[in-house]
Amino acid sequence: MFSMNQKLHDKAIEVLNKNWKDGFTVPCEGLYPFQWDWDSGFIALGWMHIDLERSFMEIKSLLKGQWSNGFIPHIIFHNPADTYFPGPEVQASHLSPFASKIPTSGITQPPVLGWVMGEIYTFAKADPRTLPFISEVYDAAYRAHQYLYTHRDPHNEGLVYICHNWEAGTDNTPVWDAIWETMDSPEYELERKDNVHIAASHRPSNREYQHYIHLIELFKSWHYDDATIAAKSPFLVQDPLFNAMLIASNEALITLGNLLNKTAEVSQLKKWNTLSKLRYEEKLYDSDLKGYVYYDLRNNRPLRHLSSSSFTALFAGIPSAERASEMVSNFQGGRFSGIDNNLLLCASFDPESEQFDPKRYWRGPIWINLNWLIYRGLQRYHQDTLADRVKKDTLHLMEKYGFYEYFDPRKEEDALLTDGYGGANFSWSAALTLDILNR
């Protein structure tokens, strides 16, 4: 490893060690002081390079929060902390008859678990601890998929829905703006804590938070009952990132299930996956925009915007080679690179849109986990020059600014700025840098 990379490598390890809390890793001290579902998946990929046992522990800790119906919550409140809103008392998971003993949220996040298990297995199969670990957590991962296909796909389309913007992971993407217009959320007085840590202009607005909390209040009043949520939630969306992750996780669980002789599970996973891939292609691709878009299941309409989620189908191996090259035209003299190549890859929302905001969370800034997924997707489709560019841009950001949460995609700003945006010492930025450097 070159010495600059060695320095970056050492700093990334330092961040993970600092954020390790005896069994799991917080995404960011103060700002996110608990365990988050998809963060844990990316973080486990960092730990696997430096401490395999910790990557196993990360996943086992996550599963302590799994509900008896297979559902994996997006936050596990292992520990008390008063620096985050909405905490366990607001999310009130005990209202569900299926809730775990540990308090959790009652919403989920992109289903990373199966796919992360596949990555760990591929990396560490020679280690005698690896297969026993996979075998120990396999059934829990399978049950999480069973939950999604049973309760989140009311028309048996093979595409599961999310019912809250936080389930997407891309919390305040402008894609939701059209949904908020359909809702008449109360004007709650909220004691937000995120804005104590981070400039308000870099976070979601107060009005957006009122919608987020209104959805949680509705779900609580329905005891987090899936059938009621499917029938009544004003937010019900088929998300290209969430479903790509599910497909990638199905694929990994099929491979791992074959190793473990899980015949019935493998056969069911194959059925789910065949349908999911087919419907994903048919329903979510927008040939004018050259990318996959969200579908608003409540209001029966596609939400026709490109975002970094539009390209995650690549890492799950969903599109044909022709469609993949059509999509990546967005990265070469296209919307996401800038016609004169003035953007770092990859903005989280369409830089040509009026709703693009290069500083505000998921309305434009670059996020390292999405870059990592796009990088792997481009490699899968042998788009090596572009993959190298995503890698180069990612490492540039990490070296220049450190392991921040998100970054400005404009090269002219990059020349002036000294800091990244959002939380500093952000765990998945460090973990995925380790993975990129070790690959």
In the complex, the residues that contact ligand DGY under the rule CB under 6 A are: 74, 166, 171, 194
Q: How far is the CB of 221 from ligand DGY (least distance, A)?
A: 20
Q: Give the contacts of 48 (CB within 8 A, at least 6 positions apart).
A: 55, 119, 120, 123, 124
In whole angstroms, how close is the CB of 384 to ligand DGY at the nearest point?
33
Distance CA 257, CA 135 (A): 9
Please state the closest distance from residue 112 (CB atom) to ligand DGY, in A: 14
Q: Which of 355, 145, 175 is nearest to 253 (CA)?
A: 145
**Looking only at Cα atoms, what is the longest distance across the chain?**
57
**Among 226, 244, 265, residue whose Cα is nearest residue 147:** 226
Q: How many CB atoms lie within 10 A of CB 261?
A: 8
Cα 418 to Cα 325: distance, rounded to the nearest angstrom: 35
* Nearer of residues 169 and 291 to ligand DGY, judged by Cβ: 169
- Residue carrying structure tokens 């792997």: 376
Identify which of residues 38 and 285 has a Cβ nearer to ligand DGY in the complex. 38
CB of 407 to ligand DGY, least distance (A): 17
DSSP 38-79: HHHHHHHHHHHHH-HHHHHHHHHHHHTT--TTS---SEE--S
| Shortest Cβ 235–ligand DGY spacing (Å) | 14
Residue 105 beta carbon to ligand DGY: minimum distance, rounded to whole angstroms: 8
- Is the bond preceding residue 86 a cis peptide, omega within 30 degrees? yes
Residues 6 or more apart whose CB falls under 8 angstroms from that of 254 comprise: 266, 269, 270, 273
Phi, psi dihedrals of residue 291, rounded to the nearest 5°:
-175, 170
For ligand DGY, the closer CB: 74 or 410? 74
Residue written as token pair 């670990």 = 133
> Residue 120 and residue 129: Cα distance in Å, rounded?
11
* CB nearer to ligand DGY: pick between 58 and 208: 208
Rounded Cα gap, residues 299 and 282, in angstroms: 19
DSSP E strand boundaries for 201-269 = 237-238
The residues with which 296 forms a beta bridge, in sequence order, are 237, 301
Cβ atoms 436, 366 nearer than 8 A: no
Q: Please, what is the minimum distance in Å from the beta carbon of residue 200 to ligand DGY?
A: 13
Q: How far is the CB of 294 from ligand DGY (least distance, A)?
A: 18
The residues that are catalytic are 171, 405
CA atoms lying within 13 Å on the CB side of residue 285:
17
Residue nearest to ligand DGY (CB): 166
Distance CA 222, CA 107 (A): 13
CB closer to ligand DGY out of 74 and 277: 74
| CA separation, residue 67 to residues 140, 166, 191, 213 (Å) | 10, 18, 28, 22
